[in-house]
Amino acid sequence: MKLREDEVMVAGRDCPIRTAVIRPLGDEPRPGVLLYTDIFQLTESTLRSARRIAAAGFVVCVPEIYPRGPLAGVALEFDDEGKQAGLAGAAATTTEQFDADRIAVLDHMQTRPDVTSLFAAGFCIGGHLAFRAALDPRVEATVCFYPTGLHNGALGADPDAGSLAAASTIRGRLMIVFGAQDPHVPADARVQILAALYAAGHDDLELHVYSGGEHAFMRDIGPRHDPVLTDLALTEALAFLRR
């Protein structure tokens, strides 16, 4: 399927938010997916994943997660310098800012004539941000790919964003994907997340734990990438969103 890609500056509360919008060609209204990146922002690797989702029939909106300060407009390299810059960008961003940006992007998506309904997804820190997007009653389904900080609440500048504590307010469907060899979300952290979600009444969610999967196994650059698991995760995620 051929795609159209545009760059949109979403009007945030205190700054514009550079957002890539990728959708199939044509004017047909389609479901919209708010897709959150990892700490490296709008890299070609993440955009390739966004294109695969869009090619399945979605309007995919991929905002920068650091629209303020020196990282606005920057796609970081997958090296130590890029990693440190991305972590610094997270440390400088509060949960309240992340939430305000999410509201702005969802507001933009809701007013687009080519978007019919709202979904969310994200990778790594973006998986945590996608979980917080699920707290918005407008979001009908959410896929969190190896969300970091969800088990202990750590998000950006805040030691505890209270994300799991708010899980009972989620009204949409939820799917979570983990790699079994992820040191950032080890087995005990996964159990903690699942127990909290079950306690909050989410005992009808989809949980996928892929044997051998490392953290960021879906990032198609570097030794941790697993193409087979990536295809499995995307296939399951797309089937989940279509339901």
Active-site annotation, residues: 124, 182, 215
Kindly state the tokens that stand for 84.
């440190």
Q: Are 19 and 42 in contact (CB under 8 A)?
A: no
Cα–chain center distance at 115: 18
Round the CA-based radius of gyration of the chain to a whole number and report it.
16
- The type of residue at 145 is F
- The type of residue at 36 is Y
Q: 23, 157, 33: which is closest to 105 by C-alpha?
A: 33
Q: Are 178 and 208 in contact (CB under 8 A)?
A: yes
Q: Are 105 and 61 in contact (CB under 8 A)?
A: yes
Match 């940006």 to its residue by tokens: 101
How many CB atoms are located within 10 Å of the residue 166 CB? Answer: 14
